[in-house]
Structure 1
Amino acid sequence: MSVTTIDLDDDALAKALRFSAGATKKDVVNTALREYAERHERAAQRARHMRAAQEWDYEGWQELHDAEKRGPE
């Protein structure tokens, strides 16, 4: 873990601490960073999925679905 000095918005930190059930400032900041990164990763995954889905058709999907249900051959 790295040590960094940053200026935090006191009001935002106070609000986050109220929701965190006794967590420390460090815990709140680390949780916020993880949630931020995870949210953006999910958004990127959805965007990749939507780009891929534009070329899907029902028959192709059904073939993939059936193959997944059968399992490895």
Structure 2
Amino acid sequence: MAKELINLDREALAGAAKLYGTATDEDTINAALRDAAARNRRREGFARLAEMAEAGELDYLLDKRNYRR
């Protein structure tokens, strides 16, 4: 991993450590970064599902015979 020198908001870091249950600054920051990336992937996935629904790509699911075989 790369080492970086950054200024941290200690209060925010303490809150994140409590949220993630981490003991070190490094673990807290890495957990927060992984969580942010995962949230973004989910957001993009939901956006894609909305696009598919808008385009009618999921309409076949309206008839149960199409997916209960």
- Per the normalisation by structure 1, the TM-score is 0.72
1:49 counterpart letter in structure 2: L
Say which one has the larger Rg: 1
- Does residue 11 (structure 1) correspond to residue 37 (structure 2)? The answer is no
CA-CA distance at 1:19 after TM superposition: 3.5
CA RMSD of aligned residues (A): 2.3
Structure 1 gaps of 5+ residues are none
Map residues 1-73 of structure 1 onto 2, 5 A cutoff.
1-21=1-21, 23-56=23-56, 58=59, 60-61=60-61, 62=63, 65-66=66-67, 70=69
Identity of aligned residues (%): 33
Query: Aligned pair count?
Result: 67
Structure 2 gaps of 5+ residues are none
